[in-house]
Structure 1
């Protein structure tokens, strides 16, 4: 048994922990609401926790374009004409299809939402919620994402209009 555990550690777990984090992209979708800036959160499909629309880089799109594509597919977000702006990054653990956690670095791009469509690819699989940045930060689980949302709300990371 000891040999099995030692082999598992040296052949599987150690290399996995040394692997550089995979890169994901996320869209921090925002709008000017009646009481100031609001951030769009969506529910994850697996656990229902609040997250930003995110996914993997896509062939044929830059990172910002991939983030906006994810926001369309997962939240039905359509954006104003100004380009998405990088506002930061945070560390996350993405659970793979095999159930193992994979460290990932999520690059976040802010984009102003023009409207939310009623009909979009993942409409029956997710919930959407607008929240003030401090409230949104309190709803997400990842500490790095929460801080990024708070900084955005304070105007430190918000793109110029």
Structure 2
């Protein structure tokens, strides 16, 4: 599943800022609920990471590194915190990878797609 960013409406994955006292995979699970209403089992091991430039309200940009975790989705809530601010949509894995703008994220997603297809065969 991909979600749209709030400002540019481009397709992204749920992500957020680190939370003091919380492990990265727990933060990823919280962001998945807040941004996309997704509930499920978050893997503790990260798939990898990617970098992107976050545009702040002031217009300045900040270089960010995002740690990516896989989530085995069990359900999507009917209501969630950012539902009115973002669109969500399920895509075939390779299609989703082609829709994100960040090359490092695309590569991570394509690797995950290959892993999934090997598990199915």
* Same-fold call, TM cutoff 0.5: yes
1:49 aligns with 2:21: no
Deviation for aligned residue 1:86:
0.6
SS in 1 for 2:107: helix
CA distance in structure 1 between the aligned counterparts of 2:93 and 2:52, rounded to whole angstroms: 20
Deviation for aligned residue 1:48:
0.7
Any stretches of 5+ residues in structure 1 without a counterpart? 1-39
CA-based RMSD of the aligned residues comes to: 1.8
1:1-161 equivalent positions in 2, closer than 5 A: 40-80=1-41, 83-155=43-115
CA distance in structure 1 between the aligned counterparts of 2:7 and 2:112, rounded to whole angstroms: 27
1:101-149 CA distance string (max 9 Å, x none): 1111111011100000011111111111111121001111111111110
CA distance in structure 1 between the aligned counterparts of 2:19 and 2:31, rounded to whole angstroms: 10
Structure with a larger share of its residues in strand: 1
The aligned length equals: 118
Which has more radius of gyration?
1
